[in-house]
A and B are shown apart, each in its own frame.
Chain A
Amino acid sequence: LWASIVTVLCNHSGASDSFFSSSSATHTNNWAVLVCTSRFWFNYRHMANTLSLYRTVKRLGIPDERIILMLADDMACNARNKYPAQVFNNENHRLNLYGDNVEVDYRGYEVTVENFLRVLTGRHETAVPRSKRLLSDEGSHILVYMTGHGGDEFLKFQDSEELQSHDLADAVKQMKEKKRFKELLIMADTCQAATLFNQLQSPGVLTIGSSKKGENSYSHHLDPDVGVSVVDRFTFYTLAFFERLNIYDDASLGSLFKSYNPKLLMSTAYYRTDLYQRHLDEVPVTDFFGSVMETIATDSPYR
């Protein structure tokens, strides 16, 4: 009798272990879904935020085929842009974020809550081409970055609709059921960003928002030449962290999350680790923000 009770208890703890371990699959590929949800010229900084992340993620190794970039408006070739085909995130204009080889998958009016959820869950119409689909599998680490205007438990899309925290949690739950990710890092740079993740319950998800409930996220500085604010504080300091890195560095996610100074951000960057099993100091940032493959050299071409 006691033996059976003990075995039952052991089995139960074993089950809870498998609940928390993301899956038995090995990490094989990295994906990035970068979304800018604001339109109009005065939201230039949201576009610059997203493009800064795009540039970082590309620089650290994720190819265009595994990046889904959604930009709700065209800033680079906008008639109001004094520097055509150039987007800056700093008033020193040192970096042209748009570059020569940018590929935008969802553009303009296509950036809607419906398309965003379709990308996450993979439920598209048959005609949708491969470059617009998130073709991740159970070995994928996915970075989802969203920026725009938001509030308590919602994110505004293009001034006409909203993504609620329930919708996001539901989409992530579907992704988990369909084994579309091994680990997921969701970053949001909006006002009251951390509230967007209140309803999440799926294991293997790590989230960070630029501000807590009741706090606003602020822009960093105004570029008097371009005429609008060019970057938000949270993204600015994220970039400051990444610009020091290259593909060979093994800085950890813990060091990234600890690098945010609430005084400089003027808000608290709040992150949730209760759904994430690994210790943040052991996770290299290139697990999500780059794509570093372990290569094994073999002598013979075929085995």
Chain B
Amino acid sequence: ELDAEVFTEALLLKPLPDGKVLTHFHFQTTAPPTRTHGRHHHVFPKSIYQLVHKFKVREMELSFTQGRWNYERWGGYDPISNANAKPPGVELWAEFDVPHSQIDDSWKNLSHTLSGLFCASINFLDHSASYSAPRWSFPSSSGKLRYGTLPREAVCTENLTPWLKLLPCRDKDGLSSLMDRSAIYKGFYHSQRLHLKSSEFGSHETVKGMVLEQTLTVVLQPNTLPGKVSLPSFSIGSLFGRKVKGKCSLSTSSNVYVLSEFSDHGVLMDEIDHETPVFKLSSRPNRVIRETDSFQQVGSVIYEYTLESSGSEPFDLGLQWKNPVFWSSKKAPFHTSRFLTGSGNERGAIAISMKSNGAVVSEPGGCSLRVGIFQVVPWYVKMYYHTLRVFIDGEAKPFEDNVEKVSVSPSEDKVSPGVMEIALRLPCSVKTAAMTVEFDKGFLHIDEYPPDANQGFDIPSSIVHFAGLASKMNFGGNFSGQVPLLAKLQEETPVRAYTEVLLVPLTTPDFSMPYNVITIACTVFALYFGSLLNALRRRAGEEERLLREKGKKRGLLTWILS
């Protein structure tokens, strides 16, 4: 269908219920297949093209995140949070179009290339103990997908710099010129994500050629006026310290959207509505798109602003609250959290707890919710999967009642991590559910400890996905296809949540031991040799004899001289 490269950019602003603002940058570059278009591109980044061809990547997602997505306040059941709430650190998964025997080698080489491309230590994922092959937690079940994550990886300007270099206008023009580094890294949550799909080496249902989607999601706190307002007004200029200069001349569409989750109580500048306005936007939008889902009580409204080319005055958009309204974002059926239990340096247990958010209505025929959990645990935390216990509403239940299927790959010391994929079937009326597994702490070789070993070791986030549930927005009409961001919002996104990263303190040796050993050994030797020499050479009473002789000698001299 497409015979030319297309680049589009969009920015979405969404006020969150707790006064913060979600800003979501979305850049998409598509390239037609090499067979028809050839190898030379003017918009699609060359480094990504070469990466796809060298490693025969079919689909890949790489995200750099800092901060924790607050599912309770910011929502967990909408396309934006389901696609952009990511675990802290680096997460990489990739699917390849190569035979099964070459997948691991392709993964290793890909991790090294990405570490050079994005200035991060992704090369640490090349060791077999740091990545895993999930079987059914991801949409693809070909067995050619590999998943790895580095929870402790720092994310800073050096990761954003090469990511921006993949865009045709870099950070000089268009929406990417808004990205003031100190504003982004001051946010409560920031996540930059790169999603790549290609059909170059195999057929793909949704894609012809290559599609590169880059998103940056930042949750910012607008500056509060003195007087502590619970819902502060904001504008693009106040959030980023800059205004949009104009659109990137290489982009086919460049838009700014404001998404309000409650039904249309917002008011535009010159209109007077018969209801009291909740907020006011500083300029009139080019288009208003309403969500047409009649089942929901509140529908979202999107206000679209189209950017003109550079040269005209800079674009700024402000939202001013007139009458504060309190709403809550749609949440996933369960609020999941994960924590460690037990104390001491020998053993403990990991518990995953799910609390119902009251969103699911139980039907008379008996309904059940399917919850899938994917958990990877490093080899030095040795899990005993036979101690897996499921608790429904506080009572321990037999395994067979609630566990639909389980796939466990126990860890092998220094070779592979412990992977557990479990599908639970819970009744809709359940209030709380929990799952516990016990573990023993292992020992590392002295060389394997990182330089800051006393901080502890991380167990990466586990992924909780709700099978059969997908979030999407329905706009009705002809909004799809033109703007990729809107198309993404209308796509069915599987509902998933990431739990917390766990910090496990392991027994660490005393790293000053070699120094202590040398000091003690040398002291012992010194004492031994000192006493030995003393015993061999010293005569008893020798000192008194010497003194007497000296005294005698003097007596003789004085007698001669006198």
Contacts and interface: CB of A to CB of B under 8 A. Distances in A.
Q: Tell me if chain B binds chain A.
A: yes
Interface of A: 39-40, 74, 76-78, 83-86, 98-105, 107-110, 127-132, 158-160
B426 interface: no
A107 B184 contact: no
Given A74-B156, A129-B116, A100 B109 contact: no
Contacts of A128: 112, 116, 123
Interface hub of B66, B108, B157, B184 (most chain A Cβ within 10 A): B157
Contacts of A132: 115-116
Nearest to B159: A104
Given A74-B154, A77-B157, A107-B120, 4 more contacts: A85-B185, A103-B119, A109-B124, A160-B449
Contacts of B173: none
B533 to A, nearest CB: 30
B328 interface: no
Contacts of B451: 39, 109, 158-160
B117 interface: yes
Nearest to A76: B156
B450 interface: yes
Interface in B140-163: 153-158, 161-162
A199 B404 CA distance: 67
Interface of B: 66, 108-109, 112-113, 115-117, 119-121, 123-124, 126, 153-158, 161-162, 171, 181-182, 184-186, 449-452, 511
B154 A100 contact: no
A101 B155 CA distance: 14
B121 A84 contact: no
B171 A100 contact: yes
A127 B157 contact: no
Contacts of B158: 102-104, 107
Give me the 8 closest cross-chain CB pairs, A-B, nearest first: A129-B116, A74-B154, A77-B156, A84-B185, A127-B112, A85-B185, A158-B451, A85-B181
Given A77-B185, A85-B184, A127-B112, A108 B162 contact: no
B112 A129 contact: yes
B319 to A, nearest CB: 24
B287 to A, nearest CB: 33
Say whether chain A's binding surface is mostly helix, strand, loop, or mixed: loop
Given A84-B182, A84-B185, A102 B157 contact: yes
B353 to A, nearest CB: 27
8 contacts: A77-B154, A77-B156, A85-B181, A100-B157, A107-B120, A127-B108, A129-B112, A131-B116
A83 B182 contact: yes
A83 B126 CA distance: 34
A102 B161 contact: yes
A130 B156 contact: no
A163 to B, nearest CB: 14
Nearest to A111: B451
A102 B451 CA distance: 25
B165 to A, nearest CB: 9
B242 to A, nearest CB: 12
A38 B363 CA distance: 61
Interface hub of A83, A102, A127, A159 (most chain B Cβ within 10 A): A127
A84 B158 CA distance: 13
A159 B161 CA distance: 29
A99 B115 CA distance: 21
Nearest to B165: A101
A109 B121 contact: yes
B116 A85 contact: no
Nearest to B179: A100
A240 B162 CA distance: 31
Interface hub of B161, B181, B184, B185 (most chain A Cβ within 10 A): B181
Given A76-B157, A85-B157, A160-B451, A104 B185 contact: no
Contacts of B156: 74, 76-77, 85, 98
Contacts of B181: 85, 98, 100
A77 B192 CA distance: 15
